[in-house]
């Protein structure tokens, strides 16, 4: 599986790289970033996937989350995928929450999105095969996290593939998209009117149905300007009803920004590293 190197920079003794490849899943060029800690010079290292939110590319978390310092300390690699296909000929919408930059980590079945918007398959199948074939990463030690739309993706993917991901966490996830305007709009566009097709992509519904066999960590800012769209209380109730192991932490005064993500990034990387060791 071929890819091109866009850039590689030294960072906290490791290497932050950005790469581009032709994706069969999306039919477009896709860009992704990989941070390798110093420990990767000596053998395979655990992997933490970070899925970004609406409007983001691979670059947002790579430059704003402050994750590399902690990944270097705990000897864990980071993978930052893009959030959607992009480019000429790829369907788009004038709204920021649909189309390019807003793939919602689903495989679209509806026109005009279906030809390229295959982000579920890209994140769960194609990109893993590429990175595990080309970087010193331990396939048996994978965790996944994300912010907002990416938190939604991390939770739904982990609960769908619990045998693959040994750990999962989220920052301010879109927790109940089938009951939110951040979800109903996109699911209708990408997946059609049948709500049965939406259910596998709703963390609250998946928590009620199956949960996750290990602990979950979720941080949510109490001053998040999007609380009514994120619906954290729905997921918190589902976790309590199921007696799901883990922590759901409401962080006083924090909003939805990357200042919030930066503040708790060390906690999350440490938490994943302990479970992937």
Catalytic residues, which ones?
148, 224, 256
Q: How far apart are CA 56 and CA 78, in angstroms?
A: 16
DSSP β-bridge partners for residue 99: 102
Q: Are 247 and 217 within 8 A, CB to CB?
A: yes
Host H or E run for residue 18: strand 14-22
DSSP per-residue letters across 67-105: -HHHHHHHT-EEEEE-SS--STTS---SSTTSBTTB-TT
Q: Are strands 4-11 and 14-22 parallel, antiparallel or unpaired?
A: antiparallel
Residues with Cβ within 8 Å of residue 246, at least 6 apart in sequence: 212, 215, 216, 217, 218, 239
């Amino acid at each position: 599986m071929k890819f091109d190197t866009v850039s590689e920079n030294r960072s906290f003794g490791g290497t932050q790289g950005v790469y581009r490849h032709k994706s069969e899943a999306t039919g477009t060029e896709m860009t992704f970033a990989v941070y390798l800690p110093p420990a990767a010079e000596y053998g395979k290292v655990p992997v933490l996937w970070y899925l970004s939110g609406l409007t983001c590319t691979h670059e947002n978390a790579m430059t704003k989350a402050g994750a590399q310092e902690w990944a270097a300390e705990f000897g864990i690699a980071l993978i930052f995928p893009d959030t959607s296909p992009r480019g000429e000929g790829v369907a788009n919408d004038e709204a920021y929450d649909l189309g390019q930059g807003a793939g919602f980590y689903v495989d679209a079945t509806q026109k005009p999105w279906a030809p390229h918007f295959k982000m579920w398959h890209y994140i769960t199948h194609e990109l893993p095969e590429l990175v595990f074939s080309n970087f010193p990463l331990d396939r048996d030690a994978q965790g996944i996290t994300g912010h907002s739309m990416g938190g939604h993706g991390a939770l739904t993917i982990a609960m769908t593939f619990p045998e693959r991901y040994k750990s999962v966490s989220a920052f301010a996830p879109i927790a109940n998209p089938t009951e939110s305007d951040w979800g109903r709009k996109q699911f209708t566009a990408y997946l059609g009117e049948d709500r049965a097709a939406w259910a596998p992509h709703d963390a609250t519904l998946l928590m009620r149905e199956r949960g996750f066999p290990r602990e979950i960590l979720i941080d949510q800012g109490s001053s998040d300007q999007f609380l009514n769209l994120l619906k954290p209380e729905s997921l918190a109730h589902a976790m309590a009803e199921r007696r799901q192991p883990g922590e759901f932490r409401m962080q006083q005064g924090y909003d939805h920004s990357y200042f919030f993500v930066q503040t708790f990034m060390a906690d999350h990387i440490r938490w994943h590293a302990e479970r992937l060791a």
